[in-house]
Structure 1
Amino acid sequence: MTRIGLSPLAWLDDVEVQRRAAGLRRSLRTRPPVGAELDLASNDYLGLAQHPRVLDGGVAALRTWGAGSTGSRLVTGNTELHEVFEQELAAFVGAASALVFSSGYTANLGAVVALSGPGSLLVSDALTHASLVDACRLSRARVVVTPHADASAVEAALAGRAEERAVVVTDSVFSADGTLAPLRALHDACRRQGALLIVDEAHGLGVRGTGGRGLLHEVGLAGAPDVVMTTTLSKALGSQGGVVLGPTAVRDHLIDAARPFIFDTGLAPAAVGAARAALQVLIDEPWRAQRVLDHAATLAALCDVAEVPASAVVSVILGEPEVALAAAAACAQRGVRVGCFRPPTVPAGTSRLRLTARASLSDEEMALARDVLTDVLAAR
């Protein structure tokens, strides 16, 4: 059969038609430099992305170290700023050490792949973040996906393994619905079965735990020798980048074995400087963590969400993609930006508005949120 004249990308036309018919076509939406609308969609939980001290921290690092890190951290991309920030963040969350990556995504890839590999078992929660899913796929380990938040299923998978080494991976706070992982039960299962626990605190840092130290700290697992924490600097700390925190031996191993660390350009100094300044703001103003939860509870109540949120995330399930899209568009028309989650991000039939609370929301902004959300949801 001849294929002359056939475009190798012709199949994309059919895919786009199918996506549009299912209400799953995505598009970019440009935001202005200064927000002209109320932001209930971003992950800037503590309201620090525009904080003057955070901006100053980024600018100072930019002027001192330059615009880029100039290379991988093993070559020319490592600065004193990177190392000081690692020490400060590790001390804050109660970990022995930390290692900064270029993003939260690469931090998860680096940690999971380097700490598992062929001949080991990976046990993953069914709702873990895409970065953890991809890490499991890249690991070449045997992967078992267990039902969401089911510690007994995790222990059964661990107990029935033939592999000597095993790793359990989970989010601490699940990004789509804001629920918490049963970290204590998972750790107990791991300890009984000789497994390592890796916890992604992307949505826990800055919101859960004393002064925003994360859910691991809250449940008494900070610094545990068989726990590794990953997180991002792009949510509560308002900057960019990712970090792996845990025993010093883990940091040393990742420097030698984590491909996203070895072969990627180091995180830009400005991002490190901004994140470091944001961490200091959180230390100085620990009330910000509780303020996020207070605002989330208010948003949930005005949207008739029955459960009090356990994090910054308020999930308003509307059902089909078209319904969620229409509700999000109606909010935008009235000056309120909300998240809209559809499959494959969430299961079919559970398309939703994903609202995020921020510590910096004013009384006037909360009043606008009440007026718009109650009207939009009443009209659906």
Structure 2
Amino acid sequence: MAKILVIEDTPEYIEMLSSLLNEYEVYAAKEGKKGILLAETVLPDLILLDINMPLMTGYEVCRRLKLNEKAHAIPVIFLTANDGSDFEEIGFNLGAVDFISKPFHAKVLKARVKTHIALYQLQSHLQEEVNDKTEEVRKLNHEMTYLAASIAELKSKETGQHLRRVAEFCYLLCKFLGHDEAECEKIKMASVLHDIGKVGISDEILNKPSKLDATEWKMMQSHSLLGYTMLVDSEFALMQLAATIALEHHERWDGKGYPYGKKGEEISLVGRICAVADVFDSLLDRRVYKEPWEEKVVKDYFMTMSGSQFDPTIANLLLENFDMFIYTWKSLNRPKD
């Protein structure tokens, strides 16, 4: 059953509207402030709003409703005994969808109410469908991003879980830095592609169990620039963010990293975040060239390298929440059933 909220200071009109609209679930408030609170709580399909009320006029109520995050989309029909057209112009400018004159003509009232409720429910249904499709596309994009990045991981014989762990650590660090959910989610997805440039490195170098010679090491370092080149020309902001991460996640706070030897805040924040997340996971993980490090050794390493290899603010966030990061690493590293 559709819901209607009547905001009207005259009890007789409230009673009349409730009777005429008895096929709907009708709620009522006798003044503006209570009406706004009720709109937030009930989330009606339509609001019938008197213009001439004490304390707060209908115009002011409408203005506040349209600024309200929960109620802004609910259609508002003004109820008025005013003559002339000026009041209608003001009301439409405030976001009202219609006007009904007092005294009410029952058939006109019912027809307009029915029409606007039907339109609102149709728009809400369409919006839900759009939201569902948008979420479906978002999930597909996420999966495609992971799939693309997994190619590089499989080529270097590293577990695909490395991608998900690094992405999760980037998300956590972004959260601890105080960024909002949307920004943290973007960094999480973009960081999945941090090693995509490895597709351009030979298998012999990627999977060599012994130390790389100078020529091989130079080739290995080129994966940062290769990844950047692969991603930077995308028209999508997420891919451009991923390009920056791919380029800078091996730069160091002290300027001794690669490919450009950037120093301090010359390195983007996302690059500095991923640098910490990537090394944290790599040290704990088994690789062809090393055994996994013990947790205490990893913690000591970050304490030592904070302010030299790593941005001290970000490294300290990792250290302050070290147990949480270890727990997350173990949870994400757990084999699936």
Query: Smaller-chain TM-score range?
Result: under 0.3
Higher normalized helix content (fraction of residues): 2
Higher RCO structure, 1 or 2 (CA under 8 Å, sep 6+): 1
Higher normalized strand content (fraction of residues): 1
Taking structure 2 as the reference length, what is the TM-score of the superposition?
A: 0.22
Q: Which has the larger radius of gyration?
A: 2
Taking structure 1 as the reference length, what is the TM-score of the superposition?
A: 0.20
